[in-house]
Amino acid sequence: MATFISHPLFGAGASYILYQSQSKESSQRFIALSTLCQWLPDIDTLSYLFPIDETHPLGHRGLAHSGVFALALAFAVMTIFYRPLKSNRTQWWGHYIWFFLMTLSHGIFDALVDSSLGIAFFWPFDTQRYQFSWQPLLDVPIRFSEFFHPQFWHAQWIECQFFSFLLASLYVVHWLRKSYLNRPVTPVPAPIEALTSESSSSA
């Protein structure tokens, strides 16, 4: 799986790159909530403590990795932590879409893992599990003993390269966009007709 280490680090890194705020408290809250949204779908790993089959909706990569879960979690975050933004629809929807994407991208990353266990993206409308044909990330069993196995750290190294590339790309795109928006505005020359009329009136 894309591990519990990589998911929150990506959430924290992406939100740190993109979020602009004058308030340190506001920035810290946004980064913390983005990290939470990116990590929380893995709460379904608790299903391994119970006699729940992996293919069950409550199993790993089931309903907690679905689009419906992402919509619900983003709405809960906005309702609890960003209620004052309701007066500003643009900011409210901007934050809501961000937290939704942070949650949903967890499942997208897991669908890139070389594993037989797919993602229930469309639960409850479709219980089928889906994966991408391109699977660059390695699957690591969810066991404490795996921390001491070389395969775990090899998988971590691959994930580190993968998510570092994503964050670097995100930074470059954000920097280019910011540079474009902050570029100096070139004065528009006055039309020749206007200059002619001005010179005639002054004469």
Model confidence pLDDT, tens digit, residues 98-113: 999 999 999 999 999 9
Q: What would the mean pLDDT of 131-160 be, rounded to a whole number?
A: 81
Task: Return d(Cα 59, Cα 127) in angstroms, integer.
Answer: 12
Residue 94 lies inside a defined structural domain of this protein? yes
Residue 127 lies inside a defined structural domain of this protein? yes
Q: How many domains does the chain have?
A: 1
Q: Higher pLDDT residue, 67 or 185?
A: 67
Residue 132 lies inside a defined structural domain of this protein? yes
Say what the pLDDT of residue 117 is.
85
Q: What would the mean pLDDT of 32-50 be, rounded to a whole number?
A: 93
Residue 1 lies inside a defined structural domain of this protein? no
pLDDT above 70 (res 59): yes
Q: How confident is the model at residue 5 (pLDDT cuts 50, 70, 90)?
A: confident
Domain housing 76: 6-202
CA distances from 37 to 43, 45, 55, 153, 193 (A): 11, 15, 23, 24, 59
Residue 93 lies inside a defined structural domain of this protein? yes
Exposure letters 59-87 (e unless 16+ CB within 10 A, then b): bbbbbbbbbebbeebbeebbeeebeebee
